[in-house]
Structure formats: C-alpha cells, structure tokens
Amino acid sequence: GESVGLHLPTLSVQEGDNSIINCAYSNSASDYFIWYKQESGKGPQFIIDIRSNMDKRQGQRVTVLLNKTVKHLSLQIAATQPGDSAVYFCAEMGAMTTDSWGKLQFGAGTQVVVTP
C-alpha cells in the first residue's frame, strides 16, 4: 500500500505486504533526512537516515528513497509485520553550515495499521 502523508494520514497494510510511506519536504536546502517510528506511548525511534548526496539507502527490511528534484522522500518496509504498526515521521535538517543544522523539522506523520 501507499500513503501521501498529509492527505492520507492512515495507511492500512496487510501483513506480509510491502508498505510505502511518502513524505514531501519543504526546504530544498535540506541536507539530512531521517525516518522515525513512534509507537503509542513511546518516543520516536530512529529507523534510517539519508544524506542529500544519496538517493537510496537500505537497512534491515527498510529502504529510504530521496528525490531531491521533487523534494520527495519515501520509506519502504518489506514484508510488513504487526510490530510495524505505528506512526511514521519523516524529518529534515539543513546542512552543517546553515542555521537549520540540528533543528529537525518533522512532517505530520503517517499512521500505519497492519492487518492480519
């Protein structure tokens, strides 16, 4: 399944399917991007990050894709499991030489619900 962030804040995915969570970021000067997972009652948990000089990075069952041309970031989760149910946030940060370094700007979040 796919989501488009603000317009589809809830993504329902069947267990075992792949999930794609999309994020449109605002600042073309952003240099560093992170995906976080937040389970109910817990703090955001780091999933994967990517620098602006890359367009793809893979982790365990997750892949982040960055398209700087259209300022779009996506998180792909392979073989989605019930434990993947959470709110997912993309976050962006400016380059080290800018005032926005260190200031993570978070997107609105996408609720992922995994159904059996």
Partner 1 sequence: DTAVSQTPKYLVTQMGNDKSIKCEQNLGHDTMYWYKQDSKKFLKIMFSYNNKELIINETVPNRFSPKSPDKAHLNLHINSLELGDSAVYFCASSQVTQGGDTQYFGPGTRLTVL
Binding site residues, partner 1, CB under 8 A: 32, 34, 36, 38, 41-46, 49, 51, 87, 89, 91, 93, 96, 101-106, 108-109
Q: 58 by DSSP, 3-state: which?
A: strand
CA distances from 64 to 37, 68, 97 (A): 13, 13, 24
Whole-angstrom Cα distance, residue 10 to residue 76?
15
Q: How far is the CB of 102 from partner 1 (least distance, A)?
A: 6
Q: How far is the CB of 29 from partner 1 (least distance, A)?
A: 15
Q: CB-wise, 16 or 102, nearer to partner 1?
A: 102
Q: How far is the CB of 58 from partner 1 (least distance, A)?
A: 16
Q: CB-wise, 12 or 18, nearer to partner 1?
A: 12
CA distances from 79 to 27, 74, 87 (A): 32, 16, 17
Q: CB-wise, 56 or 103, nearer to partner 1?
A: 103
Q: CB-wise, 18 or 100, nearer to partner 1?
A: 100
Whole-angstrom Cα distance, residue 26 to residue 41?
28
